[in-house]
Structure 1
Amino acid sequence: MKIKQEENGNIVITGANGDILYILPSMYVHQHKRKKNAILLNNSPSYGSELSGISILANNVNSVGDVHFNGDVKQLKELLSTQIAVSGIVSNKQEPLTKENDPNYVAYLQANTFEKLLAFVKANKSNIGGVTVRDGKIVEEEYLCQFETFIIRVTLNYIYRVDKPNLVNEVLMFGSTTYVLKPVKVYQYDVNDEIVEYQYREV
């Protein structure tokens, strides 16, 4: 991703393939409240809603202006302040982040079903890989999520049918699953071995 200011003052953000993603007449730069190594760009000195701004991870940025970039969010904000005529760099100083006021922890508590927690860990995983394959089949998937105030680890254990070993019988979710009431996903098939539904049960 590249961030550059054109001669007319517009700030242009392009993707890795050179496609223009955003053209902004002006922008304020905020420290992202939920993602430690990210900024939020919007047109207001107040943080406002993340949906009305543009979230950018520092490690996705390759250059700012004509300067190559490979650094953290602090260095990105410093470079933006020197290379781009931004409306302002907003620090968003707030009360110290604790587990109790961490929006990620609140979202984790609300992920109280198999599918909700799976979606949460997939969206926030820190580890690369984490998949164990045996005989061409996935037998285990591990998701490690590291946040500023807490860490969770969720593992999926795939159990295959004895009579038809190519079909998943059930998936057991374990690890940081305290708030999931039914952490076992059971596959239901029709006569053609097509999945027709999933059922969930306790361990």
Structure 2
Amino acid sequence: MHGPGSAAWLLVALCAATGAYCLLRMRSRVEEQRRTAGGEALMGFGMALMAIPAAAVTPPRAAWVVYALVFGAAALRALWAARSGAHHLHHLVGAFAMAYMAVAMAAAPSGHAGHGAAGAPLVTGLLLLYFAGYVLWSGARLVPVAPVAAGGGPQVSGWGDRPELAQACRLSMGIGMVAMLLTM
């Protein structure tokens, strides 16, 4: 790596690839998986856009307001969906974090975080702790506990129904969120 610019572009590529895979997951036959994948695609592409280095493109403040509104609406949707499952609470925290970062970027003097103090240190710290814990937890879930016999394991019908790939995408978005919060 040649500095923060190349790291930012790697984060953009990771988040965009994750968003693209989540779009593929939306073709699943399972309705709940399609709905979850749609929210995760929004997060992946939103993170990719927000991670573009300021040296390449500095969006106008109005763009950050639009991001805040979009992710605020996603947080409200996740709050409503959280009535039926705990996984939606993670989506709520993720959408809140994205809206929080967008508001902080709109308020930053340079219009982009990472170029001065942005956001509330306590909120940023709590979000960092949450996502660091989530990364460790979701990474541990990817490690197999016991070897799987040939032919054993769930039968899947396509790329959209691969739970280990979905978990890897969630892990990569969690890592991306930690990286983005560190620049706050």
Interval of TM-score (by shorter of Structure 1 and Structure 2): under 0.3
Higher RCO structure, 1 or 2 (CA under 8 Å, sep 6+): 2
When the two structures are superposed, what TM-score results if normalisation uses the length of structure 1?
A: 0.21
Q: If each structure's strand is expressed as a fraction of its own residues, which one has the higher value? A: 1
